[in-house]
Structure 1
Amino acid sequence: MLDAPEPGEAEISAVEYYRPDDRFSPQTNGKRIALAQDRAARPADGAARAEDFAATWRRVDRLCRAQAGGRTVRTRHGDAMLLSEFVLTRVVEVAVHGLDLADALGREAWLTPAAGDAVTELLLGPEHAPAADKLGWSRSHFLRKATGREPLDEAEAVQVERLGIRWLALG
């Protein structure tokens, strides 16, 4: 992505990246699930995977920090967007799938406050992010509700409506 020519002007934001289209269709999600299941079924050396992951994130961090402000990139879906906005989509993915992983392992969520706040602001917009605090939920609980990982009960739905909170459509 960073090795490719810069596409010019950004066409979409992180919010628009999550627009409902083919990238989040049941067919595409099914392909993603099948690919993940295939990879998970392969024999693996946990230490080697951990080392590869550490090397990858360090390389990506170094490359991203070396980019000029306002750098645009083209996503695998063909969208031109600011690198900073694309990185925010990666924070969303790590945050919400980290919640999934913590739940699957029966562990406490390890969501950082900065990631929780960034995802909340993306989901609600900066003008409505403070409304999330009025719900009295932890960030991880809020994100589970906002992303459909936990259903809203009737009283919660009324409170969310009263606060004017609108969820971003995620695949």
Structure 2
Amino acid sequence: MNFKTMLGVILALGISFNAQAEKVAVLGVQQALLASKAAEEFRQSLKTEFAKDEQAALDLEKQVKATRDKIQKNKDLVSADELKRMQVQFQKVYAEYQRSGQALQQKRMQREQAFIQQMRPKLDKVIRNLIKSEGYDLVVAKQATLFVKKELDITARVVELLNQE
């Protein structure tokens, strides 16, 4: 019998669960990680690391727009062969722009994953220590809640502790 079926049977029989947690909190794990000093430093390092690649992508984007505009502007003024040559040039520039953007996005995602892998043990340690020191019985992911009182949210506290690590 799977869990849903068992839960349905229990509810149908009128049996209720009486689980009590004395101390409950919610935590936005991703929010805490992204609000940390380490994340801010990481964003700055990414900006520096990818500045040349981003500028190259912007330059390609400008070339794409210029080529497209040139085609639009001259399509009635040039020969069919010239128009075809311009369209081929546009396709080449556009394909390079797409490749460049995808490569940049892939590199950025890899760096972000590496950052998360690096930070995860620190974040887990901070969370475990906070749960232990504050005596929480239940910590729920903030994303899984519909409503929570502000005083039950420990995200800011986790950020503070993470910044001390």
Scaled by the length of structure 1, what TM-score is found?
A: 0.22
Work out which of the two has the higher radius of gyration on C-alpha atoms and give 1 or 2. Answer: 2
Which has a greater percent of helix?
2
